Structure 1
Amino acid sequence: MKTIRTGVIGVGYLGRFHAHKYAAMEGVELVGVADPDDKRAQLVAGECTCRAFADAAGLLQHGVDAVSVVAPTSLHYDIGTYCLQAGIDVLMEKPITVTLAEADGLLNLAQAHGCILQVGHLERFNPAVLTMEPLLTHPLFIEAHRLAVFKDRGTDVDVVLDLMIHDIDLILAMVNAPLETIHTVGAPVITGLTDIANARLIFTNGCTANVTASRISMDNSRRLRIFQPGHYISLDFAKKEVMTVQMQQLENGTIPQPDIHRHRVQDQDALELEIRDFVTAVRTRNPPRVPGQAGRQALALALQIVEQINLHRGRVEESLHQSARGVAPFPASS
């Protein structure tokens, strides 16, 4: 079996975990890590017994087959372009890029150079999601809540591109139908970008998804409920729990007891599964579980949601300005 030579570009909080997974994986050599923060690069390189580089150019000069790009989103396009033009396979952290034009550019480069381009939508590899997938029949209504305590990390983008995009990707994969309408609301609370958002997505096959994301909550919570004919599936991402609740029709005005079944979820590491999937794609040249096109689709919907929220936000800000000028939000009754 050929040894896959890998590298990690960007070894902040998440990139460090990528480096550790590669370093521990059989059939894989972690050549090095790259980060403009030399102290951080040296620290992670020491932990993983590999070389440290200041940038992607230094890493690629030492011969790698594949890299994880775990840099800020604003750098994804430039770093991805550099790597793909060099014929290097790329696992790009989500979101794939800032704009759709950039995403299309990376997709075209990957195709032109015969490269694997995978996007790091980690929840696709959550063992609870893998357990839930065979239970899907015909989703009628989906409810997703992704709430997080505020952290400085990830604030270069708003909550839609930081957190909600996980559920957007999952829902698009589950429903597999064109989107018909979108209704959104959201607001900035403690940053200059949207910190809490809700989107109601209606698909052409009749399925509706209600998606809420917040990064200013008191507690962390990541839950998903999928209502299907006769039952619903409840999934807890953090606890890795899946249960189905079988609902019976009313009989003579009485409410029957629901039949609850808790499904066994394997204790697996989602990031390790994601990186193994990437390495397998690199080795076999088969498509990964989350190809670049899936990342592009999730970004497209996320940007639609962001655009609608920004329009709504403009109206909210105008209302706040009116309040500051002493203009009553409601006319006085006569």
Structure 2
Amino acid sequence: MSQPLRGGVIGAGVFGGYHAKQYARLDGVSLAAVLDLDAARAAAIAEPLGGRGYNDLQAFLDAVDVVTVATPATVHAGQTLAALQANRSVYVEKPIATRMDDAVALRDEALSRGLTIGCGHQERVVFRAMGLFDIPEQPLRLEAVRHGPPSERCQDVTAVLDLMIHDIDLALSLSTARPLETRATGERGPNTFDAIRADIVFDDGFACVFDASRLAPARKRTMKVVYPSGAVEIDFVARTFRNTTPFVLNEAFADTPAGKDPLGANVAAFLMAARGLAPAPIVTADEAIAALQASLAVEACL
């Protein structure tokens, strides 16, 4: 049996803590290190899980075999590139980058070195557990709402790259068509656009409406996907759906291992790909780039 991979997490915030726990519990990997500007904060996450805290990037990279980047979006590209250049496969939280040229450079760097990039679009795991990808029809229309109350997190990007990109990625994952026309309007919060409505029409007529807000009084995350034979209406908060298509979906998806822990399933798939035991992670660099490109088209309209 091969040696366990040494997992490392860049970022000692809330999501960094989630990822550190995944490396500590999953088979075939152990948590070796957490990197943060604040070494004490990194150690507070790493040491209870058997790892070490670092504030020096090179020392951190020397201590790990695979890397998770769980820092603010605006620094994803630089940290991911540094890990790839150290010949480490990388799982990067969404978005893969905030600029297209950076995202493409990451993909190309990974390809040139034979490394894996996985991206943290966890909702795809939920769709897979539901069986939604098995519906043999192309969608006609999609309506997505992703609202949450004001928060201090992710203020380095708009609500498009914070919230809406999840639903844009899901729309892309359901259709073989590609975005053709984009329109959007937005409302500014204290720092940037915090409420956005976007309409994207695909080249086969697939019409999508996205409504994302960080100014809402309560959390609401819903999606309706209309097919020629019926519709699927999903409540991501309640973890339920209503299906009027003739195709059978898994009503107990929330009780499956992937449904209970989408992050764990996504990280486990990344590790399989990084080991060469699977052809690709659940969300590849190309798929993350497509979601970023469509999201930046929405931002350009603002």
Q: How is 1:260-271 mapped onto 2 (pairs within 5 angstroms)? A: 263-267=251-255, 268-271=260-263
Please say if 1:295 is aligned against 2:296: no
- Partners of 2:129 and 2:158 lie apart in 1 by 25
Cα deviation code 1:34-72 (max 9, x no counterpart): 11122311210123121111133121122x221101111
Q: How is 1:182-331 mapped onto 2 (pairs within 5 angstroms)? A: 182-188=182-188, 190-245=189-244, 263-267=251-255, 268-283=260-275, 284=277, 286-309=279-302
Structure 2: segments with no counterpart, 5+ residues: none
SS in 1 for 2:43: helix
Deviation at 1:171, TM superposition (A): 0.4
Aligned to 1:34: 35
Aligned to 2:50: 49
**Residues 237-246 or 42-51, more deviating:** 237-246
User: Which amino acid is the alignment partner of residue 104 of structure 1?
Assistant: V
- Partners of 1:154 and 1:263 lie apart in 2 by 33
Cα RMSD between the aligned structures?
1.8
- Partners of 2:278 and 2:158 lie apart in 1 by 34
**Residues 271-280 or 120-129, more deviating:** 120-129
Cα deviation code 1:170-189 (max 9, x no counterpart): 1011112122211111110x
User: Which amino acid is the alignment partner of residue 33 of structure 1?
Assistant: V
Larger radius of gyration: 1
Does the 8 A contact of 2:182 with 2:200 survive in 1? yes
- Partners of 2:138 and 2:82 lie apart in 1 by 42
- Partners of 2:194 and 2:298 lie apart in 1 by 13
Aligned to 2:122: 122
Does the 8 A contact of 2:227 with 2:245 survive in 1? no
User: Which amino acid is the alignment partner of residue 303 of structure 1?
Assistant: L
User: Which amino acid is the alignment partner of residue 230 of structure 1?
Assistant: S
Does the 8 A contact of 2:34 with 2:53 survive in 1? yes
- Partners of 2:35 and 2:250 lie apart in 1 by 43
Deviation at 1:127, TM superposition (A): 5.9
SS in 1 for 2:253: coil
Aligned to 1:15: 16
Aligned to 1:70: 70
TM-score by length of 1: 0.84
Q: How is 1:157-196 mapped onto 2 (pairs within 5 angstroms)? A: 157-188=157-188, 190-196=189-195
- Partners of 1:263 and 1:223 lie apart in 2 by 16
Deviation at 1:135, TM superposition (A): 3.3
- Partners of 2:136 and 2:149 lie apart in 1 by 31
Does the 8 A contact of 1:245 with 1:261 survive in 2? no
Does the 8 A contact of 1:123 with 1:129 survive in 2? no
Q: How many residues align?
A: 295
User: Which amino acid is the alignment partner of residue 61 of structure 2?
Assistant: L
**Residues 97 and 264 (structure 1), Cα distance of their counterparts in 2 relative to 1, 3 Å cut:** same
